[in-house]
């Protein structure tokens, strides 16, 4: 078990390092002079040179790389080209917006998905089963911006149930940090983007839950549980569901990874000031320090989530505490 | 002595693509208090369905009928699912399932899976429940420490014992054992069975046992009464001694041949040719007709009634009067080498 | 002889699809879009960027579907039908290319890693982990914004990422197949590794390959649509996602339903067609699903 | 952090070298005179992406389609705006650039569009004459109008210059887009439209009254505000936020003429000397008094750090001296007519007691990169908070000599123009600040309680040519192009009719300075071909255009 966790952790660190390195070189081989826009042409040569130096542009590549890695660790991620703010300050504010949105969306998907999956397995072959399968697959094939825009049109523009976008009503300043989560205005704005994301990813946990549920209910320990005279609910949830959840759990970590990559679109559609939106802005305004850091932060988030999933999986399924890991 | 389980003409019919499957088709027998009733028959003869029917584990689609299906004072045909679940299952009738391997839920500690049963039916505290389980574990020869272990950490034998312990935690009147020893090597089988006896002394459980197996030699030693099941029917039912000393039904004779008997280990084993009939087709005559070396035309045309050849010894056969000569012939290999 | 093999193969595929009503639906849709993509330049009634005037000579801006403009027009008075048809070509091109290339990468990595195991496997799998660490769309966006808005960069970016899933799954499959007797036998017979991998193992994972080809194409289409919608696409070639992007920035999203509906429906149809087909293969690849 | 050498080498690999080569060789060098009779090479119209402004790629597209009519292959090339700026203004590496020169209040004075856009000295890294255009006659005129302190005389010169500039066609003014803004008339009243800014003007900010609600005006903007640094301010949207917080010595009035503001009066001692009297007892938002010292400091500091927007003008200042607690004297090196409207009307006064420590204490190398988290100014609004990428709030500064009528202004970022329109339509927001997409304006105008129209504007969309590259270096060729661009179509199809056909670089809306004699060339392909034929261009059988043989 320890051995397993340790190995996983090492892999994770390695992965992060590798992603960082790849990123460094992607951003170095891109065309053009990245600083042309920050360094005002009005400045004389001397002060331009001074600025280039400040950006570390005068140094040879391997030193730049060393500095870059050092910066990553010491959280000195450079300064934004467009806003002159330290990248870290920008991100620490955007980070939570994304995490909250993703958290809400993903928990909704997973809970609803598994619940539905259970019921579908329970009533297999029934109308619900079939219709749910088809609609989930179709939802999965509908890009989030299509569903998102549909939601906006119907629920926001037509019925005026939800705001058109953003995180707060203009002027209603939000509390920062966790307190934000308990702010009614914020939650009101959260609904649409959250369900848009949730619906898009619903199919995966739902179908997997359904399948593994069907697999489990055939097994002997379920029969024994029934023979023990446990209530059907207990049998279904405590025995069947508990086991059926394992594969769902494995997938969910990967799923969240995908979602974190994809939330760019949702944030754009609902003008949600998260990392995704920042990513787009930075990329199209060529604000490289920001784009780079945002990308990296997303990547780190993904791999760390996977790590956590792997570790908690050990606790969920006693069978894989044996070294060698799952599968 | 009065019976705790009393079954008359029990039928369980499934509907499948091929038609109605008469898995259990008119079975009658009784299990007395503290009695060990062995139910023997080839796999697929419907014995598992029989016990599942008794424990209401058959799917709702299955059609169950009986003239009588009584456990103690309860008429199992009429009691509500809820009552059955809460009052009868495990407290009255408990189960040692076929494959202890897969019958334990892999994600829960074995101990918890035992206490679970107790907590479901009694108002014991967790501690009390655990105490009881410890007692049972000890009875089956498992250290109390193993309660904290997970199934995958158990060996086959240990699981089997755990299952035994689990089945006894609520001191039920009837323990149904479905092939308790399949998938275990002979030595373990041996130990478990011996164990079973000891346990019954140790725990002073006056539990009757309904022991199901495809291997009569297993039940020979320990059953008080034995039923030979074939194609959903009880061909012969008698006290263990009678059945082994003077069996009537050709099928019983065949089975006896097919397994080493404790008495004559040197005798070579003869197996019954052919295979049991498809339970969906309706056969007018004796179900064993195809495989019976002694059958005559009537056997093909008329289904034999159940007759009491000796007190408490029931047989379903037309030709019981010739049984003496059958017993002789049955010992010889060529008798069974025929074709219809 | 070679031909007969191909024929049998195709027949087999047909049977698989035929056997499953979703699969059938999917196949029909695919065929439909395939044909349109092939014929696009010939059947598109108008030029891509042509601003149309109606019979009255007025610019046909944001016209609802009518006889004159079957699917309506855009804010620039461009024929949506034509754009849709030409977009189909681009979308299919991107989807197909990146789908096939990515399965090529994924399959080979999976096969080699699964077959050889050991060091090679370790290396390949760590590499796959790294790719799993890459947030997909951001990667697309960065690459495109850095190297230019151009179909080929879009395809390259997509290919760089989506092979990862197929690689993992195929590897797992290969590992189990590797143990089978006939593989061992082939080894004993002294078959070259190459022959074993591509001659003996490959055929056994074919359904899986096709399944993931379908998936990858579906993902590529979705990814491209996403990137285009965010404005990171080739401005001189239009895709369905690009059409929606034009709608989005034209600010007519709430009024021009016809402009929104058609590309969206096309995306959903194509992708779900692929998903359904892959589900048909899934049943072959893992029979457990069949019983239901 | 970024290594250009590598960048370029890699880029060559990727793009097959075409663009890369020119980047390495730099402009000019690469473009030797074409062989006589050679095919006129295909070219590209660079412009911003639709994300930044949907109009631009479309116009670029229409133009390139139009140029095909004279047998010249041209393609639109929309890329990120920063790359536009970098390639055009920094590297001068482009063929044609389609861009908008917005009608900022500081551009009402003709100097910007005449001198900065046309004078040969302005062809430099970062200069506005990125066309590389040079014409001695025009150079003389645009300098002359700068020096001429007599308005009427100056007007004559300006008119003459306009004619020559238009004939030179170093850039083609395609359309004067109207300033399309919207506001909820049921929430706010007393809006003051202004030339080039519509209802988004500063005068609206301080004069509008809120009918209902908490007295705060909610302003929607399509893209997030980037900086609030008065010294570094470059683009119009930054100025629009900053001028609420920071005061200027003069303000450009609704009619376009400068009005005394922080300076309560001024006196031209001689053409190169101006005395200013600062308004008494003004204070900064932190309570410190605003004195002549601060004014002097502002000038010196901006000059020292080359405030990008004013640098060229600040060069003309010899010195600034304090002549009393409220007196300041500005001495110029040479007489400079646009001084008041282009410098004193735009330069933000900054408090010495804060900025004297910048950049040293702020940990930046250059005040231009100073984030200025909590701006302290003396303007009618004082800074409240700024949640980056989301919302900025300023409240009325009651001690100001001209306090605003509303309680304050909340600027909220919406993802897109469409979202802005929706917000105003739903009443989430009361007004938009900057240009709203014309197509949307027409829809909004239909909404009850919303006033949405286009207001006159002196800014324009223009197609600028790289005058160092053949064939664009040929004035006749450029004139021919002027006859090809379908301006009416562009205005009708792309600008929803909310614009006027472009001619002179000084818009008709700028009534005082505009020369009505300057008319746009008619859209006439035949004429264009004649012009080309006259100057010897030929067409091959495929109809492709060739250089004079």
Average pLDDT, chain B: 82
CA distance D508 to D103: 12
Cα separation, D297 vs D462, in Å, equals 38
SS3 labels along chain C: CHHHHHHHHHHHHHHHHHCCHHHHHHHHHHHHHHHHHHHHHHHCCCCCCCCCECCCCCECCCCCCCCCCCCCECCCCCEHHHHHHHHHHHHHHHHHHHHHHHHHHHHHHHHHHHHHCHHHHHHHHHHHHHHHHCCHHHHHHHHHHHHCCCHHHHHHHHHHHHHHHHHHHHHHHHHHHHCCHHHHHHHHCCCCHHHHHHHHHHHHCHHHHHHHHHHHHHHHHHHHHHHHHCCCCCCCCCCHHHHHHHHHHHCCCCCCHHHHHHHHHHHHHHHHHHHHHHHHHHHHHCHHHCCC
Secondary-structure percent of chain B, ordered helix, strand, coil, rounded to 5: 40, 25, 40
Provide, as residue numbers in chain D, all residues whose Cβ is less than 8 Å from the Cβ of A174: 387
Closest CA to B55 of B14, B114, B95, B105: B95
Q: Dihedrals φ, ψ of C21, to 5°? A: -70, -30
Distance from CA of A250 to the nearest CA of B (A): 16
| Alpha-helical segments (H) within chain B | 47-54, 81-83, 100-103, 110-121, 126-140, 156-168, 186-202, 216-222, 240-245, 250-258, 297-301, 323-330
Phi and psi at residue C19, to the nearest 5°: -70, -10
Alpha-carbon distance A243 to nearest alpha carbon in chain B (angstroms): 7
Q: Is D389 left (phi over 0), alpha (psi -120 to 50) or beta?
A: left
- Give residue A46's pLDDT: 62
- Alpha-helical regions (H) of A1-126: 2-28, 45-54, 61-73, 87-122
Per cent of chain B over pLDDT 70 is 89
Chains A, C: CB contacts within 8 A come to 134
Cα C162 to the chain's mean position, in Å?
10
Distance in Å, alpha carbon of C161 to nearest chain A alpha carbon = 11
Q: Is the pLDDT of residue B43 over 80?
A: no
| Residues of chain C found within 8 Å of residue D61, distances taken between Cβ atoms | 49
3-state secondary structure of D409: strand
Q: For the beta carbon of residue A154, count every other beta carbon within 10 angstroms.
A: 12
Closest CA to C254 of A166, A153, D440, A148: A153
Picking from D256, D259, D233, the residue whose alpha carbon sits closest to that of residue D248 is D259
Residues 67-106 of D with CB under 8 A from C: 75-80
Give residues with Cβ within 8 angstroms of A305, minimum separation 6.
A253, A256, A257, A260
Selection from B3-17, B19-33, C241-255, D139-153 with the highest mean pLDDT: D139-153
Tell me which chain C residues have a C-beta less than 8 angstroms from the C-beta of A149: 248, 253, 260
Chain A contact present for C272, CB below 8 A = yes
Residues 6+ apart with CB under 8 A from C21: none
Confirm if D491 and D175 have CB atoms less than 8 A apart.
Answer: yes
Interface A-B, measured as beta-carbon pairs within 8 A, has a size of: 66
D188 or C58: whose pLDDT is higher? D188
Is-contact C255 D443, C-beta < 8 A? Answer: yes
Do D334 and D316 meet the contact criterion of CB atoms below 8 Å apart?
yes
Residues whose CB is less than 8 angstroms from the CB of residue D506 and which lie 6 or more positions away in sequence, other chains included: D110, D113, D114, D158, D162, D458, D513, D514, D515
Q: What is the pLDDT along chain A (327 residues), one digit of tens a residue?
A: 778 888 889 999 999 999 999 988 888 776 656 665 555 554 556 666 666 666 666 778 888 888 888 888 888 888 887 777 888 888 988 899 999 999 999 999 999 999 999 888 877 777 888 888 888 888 889 999 999 999 998 998 888 899 888 888 877 888 877 788 888 899 999 999 999 999 999 988 998 898 888 888 878 888 888 888 888 888 888 888 888 888 888 888 888 888 888 889 999 889 898 999 899 888 887 788 898 899 999 999 999 988 888 888 877 777 765 443 333
CA angle at residue D501 from D500 to D505, to 5 degrees? 100
pLDDT at residue A57 in the model: 67
Residues B289 and B300: their CA atoms lie apart, in Å, by 6
Sign, CA dihedral B132-B138-B141-B145, equals positive
Count CB-CB contacts under 10 A for residue C203. 11
Instruction: Please answer whether residues D525 and D484 qualify as being in contact, where contact means their C-beta atoms are separated by less than 8 angstroms.
Output: yes
Q: What is the pLDDT of residue B205?
A: 60
- pTM, two decimals, is 0.82
Residue of C51, C79, C143, C241 to mutate when probing chain D, most D C-beta within 10 A: C51
As a whole number of angstroms, the distance between CA A241 and CA A243 comes to 5
Q: Which residues of C touch A260 (CB under 8 A)?
A: 135
Cα separation, C103 vs D342, in Å, equals: 62
Contacting partners of chain A (3+ CB pairs under 8 A): B, C, D
The predicted pLDDT at position D531 comes to 95
Among C292, C29, C220, C223, which residue's Cα sits nearest to residue A133? C292
Taking each helix axis from N to C end, the angle separating C80-116 and C257-285, rounded to the nearest 10 degrees, works out to 30
For the question of an ipTM over 0.85, the answer is: no
Do D389 and A160 make contact, defined as CB atoms within 8 angstroms? Answer: no
Residues of chain A numbered 235-274 and touching chain D (CB < 8 Å):
268-271, 273
Least CA distance to A162: which residue of chain D? D426
The yes-or-no reply on C/B contact (3 CB pairs or more, < 8 Å) is no
> CA A9 → CA A6, A12, A14, A251, distances in Å?
5, 5, 9, 19
What is the nearest CA distance from B278 to chain A, expressed in angstroms? 24
Is some CB atom of chain C closer than 8 A to the CB atom of A302?
yes
> According to the model, what pLDDT value does residue D264 have?
92
Q: Which residue of C has its CA nearest to D12?
A: C147
Among the listed ranges B31-35, B51-55, B334-338, which one has the minimum average pLDDT value? Answer: B334-338
Instruction: Check D371 against A36: CB less than 8 A apart.
Output: no
SS3 B263: coil
Is A138 at the interface with chain C, CB within 8 A?
yes
Closest C-alpha among D400, D505, D485, D389 to residue D115: D505
Nearest to C142 among A14, A283, A303 (CB): A283
Q: In angstroms, rounded to a whole number, what is the distance separating the alpha carbons of residues D299 and D344?
A: 10
Q: Which one of C73, C147, C235 would you mutate to disrupt binding with D, by most D Cβ within 10 Å of its Cβ?
A: C235
Instruction: Answer whether D2's CB lies under 8 Å from A34's CB.
Output: yes
Task: Kindly determine whether residue C236 and residue D76, on different chains, have CB atoms separated by under 8 Å.
Answer: yes
Closest CA relative to residue D140, chosen from D170, D103, D115 = D115
Whether A125 and chain C come into contact, CB under 8 Å, resolves to: yes
Q: Cα–Cα distance between D198 and D434 in angstroms, integer?
A: 8
Express each pLDDT in A180-215 by its tens digit. Answer: 888 889 999 999 999 999 999 998 899 889 888 888
Distance CA A31, CA A198 (A): 38
Partners of A226 on chain B (C-beta within 8 Å) are 57
CB–CB of A204/A113 below 8 Å? Answer: yes
* Contact predicate C134/C157, CB 8 Å: no
Q: How far apart are CA B176 and CA B95, in angstroms?
A: 5
**CA A113 from centre of chain:** 17
Q: Kindly determine whether residue C254 and residue D418, on different chains, have CB atoms separated by under 8 Å.
A: yes
Interval C188-230: pLDDT, tens: 888 888 888 888 888 888 888 888 999 999 999 999 999 999 9
pLDDT in tens, chain D (549 residues): 333 333 333 333 333 333 333 333 344 444 567 888 899 999 999 999 888 888 899 999 999 999 999 999 999 999 888 888 888 988 899 999 999 998 888 888 999 899 989 999 989 887 889 999 999 999 999 999 999 989 999 999 999 999 999 999 999 999 999 999 999 999 999 999 988 888 989 999 999 999 877 899 999 887 788 888 999 887 778 888 999 999 999 999 988 889 999 999 999 999 899 999 999 989 999 999 999 999 999 999 999 888 878 888 898 999 999 999 899 999 999 999 999 988 999 999 999 999 998 888 877 777 888 888 899 999 999 999 988 778 899 999 999 999 999 999 999 888 778 888 888 988 889 999 888 888 888 889 999 999 999 999 999 999 999 999 989 999 999 999 999 999 999 998 889 899 999 999 999 999 999 999 999 999 999 999 999 999 999 999 999 999 998
Q: Is the pLDDT of residue C45 over 80?
A: yes
Q: D226 to chain A: which residues are within 8 Å by CB?
A: 82-83
Architecture of domain C2-264+281-289: Orthogonal Bundle (1.10)
Interface test with C, best of D6, D9, D14 (most C CBs within 10 A): D14
Sign, CA torsion C254/C258/C264/C268: positive
Q: How far apart are CA D536 and CA A30, in angstroms?
A: 43
Q: Which of B97-106, B155-164, B215-224, B322-331 has the lowest mean pLDDT?
A: B215-224
pLDDT of B331 above 70: yes
CB contact under 8 A, A163 and D389: no
Q: What's the pLDDT at B193?
A: 67
A31 touches chain C (CB under 8 A): yes
CB-CB neighbours of D398 under 10 Å = 9
Bridging pattern class, strands B208-213 and B36-40: parallel
Which residues have CB under 8 Å from B233's CB, separation 6+? B25, B26, B27, B287, B316
Distance from CA of A275 to the nearest CA of B (A): 39
Whether D464 contacts D130, CB under 8 Å: yes
User: What pLDDT, in 10s, does the model give residues B171-197?
Assistant: 888 888 887 766 566 666 666 667 776
Helix (H) or strand (E) holding B1: none
Chains near C with 3+ CB pairs less than 8 A apart are A, D
Sign of CA dihedral B293, B294, B297, B301: negative
HSE (side-chain half, CA atoms, 13 Å) at A270: 36
Which secondary structure element, helix H or strand E, spans residue D114, and what is its range? none
Say if D488 is an interface residue toward chain C (CB within 8 Å). Answer: no
Report the interhelical angle of C118-133 vs C151-178 (nearest 10°).
Answer: 140
Asked if B112 has any chain A CB less than 8 Å from its own CB, the reply is no
Nearest to D83 among A32, A82, A288 (CB): A32
| Residues whose CB is less than 8 angstroms from the CB of residue B124 and which lie 6 or more positions away in sequence, other chains included | B118, B132
For the four alpha carbons of A251, A254, A256 and A262, in that order, the dihedral sign comes to negative
- For chain C, what are the domain ranges? 2-264+281-289
Q: How many CA atoms lie within 13 A of A137 on its CB side?
A: 23
């Amino acid at each position: 078990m320890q051995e397993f966790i340790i190995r996983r952790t090492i892999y994770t660190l390695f992965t992060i390092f590798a992603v960082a390195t790849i990123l460094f070189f992607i951003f170095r081989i891109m065309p053009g002079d990245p600083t042309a826009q920050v360094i005002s042409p009005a400045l004389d040569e001397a002060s331009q040179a001074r600025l280039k130096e400040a950006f570390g542009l005068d140094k040879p590549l391997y030193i730049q790389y060393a500095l870059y890695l050092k910066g990553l660790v010491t959280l000195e991620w450079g300064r934004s080209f467009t806003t002159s703010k330290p990248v870290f300050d920008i991100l620490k504010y955007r980070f939570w917006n994304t995490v909250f949105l993703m958290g809400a969306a993903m928990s909704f998907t997973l809970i609803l998905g598994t619940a539905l999956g259970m019921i579908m397995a329970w009533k297999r072959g029934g109308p619900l089963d079939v219709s749910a399968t088809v609609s989930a697959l179709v939802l999965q094939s509908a890009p989030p911006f299509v569903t998102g825009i549909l939601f906006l049109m119907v629920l926001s523009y037509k019925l005026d149930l939800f705001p058109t976008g953003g995180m707060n009503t203009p002027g209603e300043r939000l509390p920062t940090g966790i307190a934000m989560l308990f702010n009614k205005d914020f939650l009101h704005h959260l609904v649409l983007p959250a369900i848009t994301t949730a619906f898009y990813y619903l199919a995966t946990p739902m179908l997997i839950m359904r399948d593994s549920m069907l697999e489990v209910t055939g097994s002997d320990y379920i029969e024994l549980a029934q023979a023990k005279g446990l209530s059907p609910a207990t049998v279904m949830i405590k025995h069947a569901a508990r086991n059926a959840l394992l594969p769902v759990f494995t997938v969910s970590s990967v799923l969240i990874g995908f979602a974190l990559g994809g939330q760019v679109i949702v944030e754009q559609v609902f003008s949600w000031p998260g990392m995704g939106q920042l990513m787009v802005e930075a990329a199209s305004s060529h604000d490289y320090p920001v784009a780079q850091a945002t990308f990296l932060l997303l990547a780190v988030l993904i791999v760390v989530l996977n790590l956590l999933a792997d570790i908690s999986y050990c606790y969920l399924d006693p069978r894989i505490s044996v070294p060698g890991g799952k599968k | 002595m009065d019976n705790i389980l009393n079954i008359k003409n029990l039928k369980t019919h499934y509907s499948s693509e091929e038609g109605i499957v008469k898995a259990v088709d008119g079975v009658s027998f009784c299990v007395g208090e503290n009695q060990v009733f062995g139910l023997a028959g080839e796999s697929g003869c419907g014995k598992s369905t029989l016990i599942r029917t008794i424990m209401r584990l058959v799917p709702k689609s299955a059609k169950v009928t009986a003239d009588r299906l009584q456990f103690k004072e309860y008429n199992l045909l009429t009691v509500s699912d809820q009552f059955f679940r809460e009052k009868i299952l495990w407290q009255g009738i408990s189960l040692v399932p076929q494959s202890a391997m897969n019958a334990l839920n892999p994600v829960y500690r074995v101990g918890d899976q035992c206490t679970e049963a107790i907590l479901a039916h009694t108002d014991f505290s967790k501690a009390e429940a655990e105490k009881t389980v410890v007692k049972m574990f000890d009875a089956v020869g498992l250290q109390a420490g193993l309660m904290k272990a997970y199934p995958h950490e158990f060996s086959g034998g240990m699981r089997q014992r755990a299952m035994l312990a689990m089945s006894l935690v609520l001191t039920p009147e009837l323990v149904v054992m479905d092939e308790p020893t399949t998938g275990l090597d002979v030595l373990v089988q041996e130990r478990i069975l011996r164990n079973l006896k000891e346990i019954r002394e140790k725990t002073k459980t006056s539990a009757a046992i309904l022991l199901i197996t495809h291997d009569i030699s297993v039940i020979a030693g320990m059953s008080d009464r034995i039923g030979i099941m074939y194609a959903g029917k009880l061909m012969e039912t008698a006290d263990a001694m009678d059945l082994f000393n003077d069996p009537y039904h050709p099928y019983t004779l065949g089975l006896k041949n097919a397994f080493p008997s404790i008495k004559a280990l040197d005798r070579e084993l003869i197996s019954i040719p052919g295979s049991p009939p498809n339970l969906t087709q309706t056969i007018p005559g004796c179900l064993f007709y195809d495989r019976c070396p002694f059958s005559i035309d009537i056997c093909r045309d008329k289904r034999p009634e159940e007759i009491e050849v000796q007190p408490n010894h029931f047989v379903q056969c037309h030709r019981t009067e010739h049984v003496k000569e059958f017993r002789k012939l049955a010992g010889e290999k060529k008798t069974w080498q025929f074709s219809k | 002889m070679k031909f007969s093999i191909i024929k049998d193969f195709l027949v087999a595929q047909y049977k698989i699809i035929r056997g499953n009503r979703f699969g059938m639906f999917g196949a029909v849709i695919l065929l439909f879009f395939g044909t349109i993509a092939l014929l696009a330049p010939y059947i598109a009634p108008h030029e891509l960027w042509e601003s149309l005037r109606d019979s009255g000579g007025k610019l046909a801006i944001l016209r609802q579907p009518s006889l004159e403009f079957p699917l309506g027009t855009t804010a620039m008075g461009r024929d949506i039908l034509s754009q849709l048809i030409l977009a189909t070509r681009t979308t299919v091109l991107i989807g197909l290319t990146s789908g096939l290339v990515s399965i090529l990468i994924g399959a080979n990595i999976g096969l080699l890693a699964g077959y050889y195991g050991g060091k090679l496997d370790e290396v390949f799998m760590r590499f796959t982990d790294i790719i799993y660490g890459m947030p997909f769309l951001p990667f697309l966006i960065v690459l495109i914004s850095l190297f230019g808005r151009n179909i080929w960069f879009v395809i390259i970016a997509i290919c760089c990422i989506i092979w990862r899933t197929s690689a993992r799954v195929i590897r797992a499959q290969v590992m189990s197949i590797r143990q089978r007797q006939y593989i061992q036998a082939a080894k004993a017979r002294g078959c070259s590794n190459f022959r074993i991998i591509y001659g003996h193992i490959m055929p056994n994972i074919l359904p899986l390959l096709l399944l993931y080809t379908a998936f990858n194409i579906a993902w590529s289409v979705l990814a491209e649509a996403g990137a285009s919608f965010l404005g990171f696409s080739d401005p001189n070639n239009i895709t369905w996602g690009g059409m929606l992007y034009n709608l989005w920035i034209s600010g007519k999203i709430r009024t021009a339903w016809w402009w929104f509906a058609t590309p969206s429906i096309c995306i959903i149809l194509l992708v779900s067609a692929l998903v359904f087909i892959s589900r048909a293969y899934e049943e072959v690849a893992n029979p457990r699903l069949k019983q239901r | 952090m970024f290594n250009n050498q590598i960048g370029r080498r890699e880029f060559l690999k990727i793009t097959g070298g075409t663009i890369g080569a020119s980047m390495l060789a730099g402009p000019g060098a690469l473009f030797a005179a074409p062989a006589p009779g050679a095919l006129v090479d295909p070219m590209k119209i660079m412009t911003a992406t639709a994300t930044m402004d949907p109009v631009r790629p479309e116009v670029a597209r229409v133009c390139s389609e139009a140029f095909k009519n004279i047998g010249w292959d041209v393609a639109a090339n929309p890329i990120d705006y920063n790359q536009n700026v970098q390639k055009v203004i920094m590297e001068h590496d482009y063929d044609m650039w389609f861009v908008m020169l917005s009608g900022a209040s500081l551009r009402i004075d003709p100097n910007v569009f005449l001198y900065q856009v046309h004078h040969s000295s302005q062809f430099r890294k970062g200069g506005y004459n990125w066309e590389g255009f040079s014409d001695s006659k025009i150079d003389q005129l645009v300098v002359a109008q700068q020096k001429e302190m007599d308005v009427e005389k100056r007007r004559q010169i300006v008119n003459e210059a306009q004619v020559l500039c238009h004939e030179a066609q170093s850039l083609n003014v395609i359309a004067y887009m109207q300033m399309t803004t919207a506001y909820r008339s049921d929430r706010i009243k007393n809006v003051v439209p202004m030339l080039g800014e519509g209802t988004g003007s500063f005068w609206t900010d301080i004069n509008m009254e809120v009918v209902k609600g908490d007295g705060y005006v909610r302003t929607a903007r399509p893209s997030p505000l980037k900086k609030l640094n008065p010294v570094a301010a470059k683009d119009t949207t930054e100025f629009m936020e900053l001028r609420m917080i920071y005061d200027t010595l003069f303000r450009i009035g609704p009619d376009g003429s400068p009005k005394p503001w922080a300076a309560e009066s001024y006196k031209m001692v001689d053409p190169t000397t101006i005395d200013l009297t600062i308004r008494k007892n003004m204070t900064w938002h932190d309570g410190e008094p605003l004195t002549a010292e601060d004014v002097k400091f502002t000038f010196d500091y901006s000059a020292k750090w080359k405030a990008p927007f004013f640098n060229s003008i600040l060069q003309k200042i010899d010195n600034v001296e304090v002549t009393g607690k409220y007196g300041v004297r500005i001495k110029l090196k040479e007489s400079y007519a646009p001084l008041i409207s282009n410098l004193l009307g735009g330069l933000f006064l900054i408090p010495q007691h804060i900025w004297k420590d910048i950049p040293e204490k702020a940990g930046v190398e250059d005040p231009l990169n100073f984030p200025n988290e909590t701006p302290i100014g003396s303007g009618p609004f004082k800074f409240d908070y700024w949640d980056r990428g989301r919302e900025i709030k300023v409240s009325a500064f009651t001690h100001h000599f001209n306090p605003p009528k509303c309680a304050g202004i909340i600027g909220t970022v919406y993802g897109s123009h469409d979202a802005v329109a929706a917000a105003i339509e739903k009443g989430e927001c009361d007004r938009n600040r900057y240009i709203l997409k014309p197509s949307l304006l027409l829809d909004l105008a239909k909404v009850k309680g919303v006033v949405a129209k286009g207001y006159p504007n002196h800014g324009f969309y223009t197609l600028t040519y790289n005058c160092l590259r053949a064939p664009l270096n040929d004035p006749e060729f450029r004139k021919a192009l002027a006859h090809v661009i379908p301006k009416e179509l562009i205005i009708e199809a792309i600008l929803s009719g909310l614009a006027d056909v472009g001619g002179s670089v000084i818009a008709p809306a700028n009534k005082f300075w505009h020369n009505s004699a300057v008319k746009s060339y008619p859209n006439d392909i035949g004429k264009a071909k004649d012009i080309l034929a006259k100057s010897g261009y030929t067409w091959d059988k495929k109809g492709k255009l060739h250089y004079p043989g």
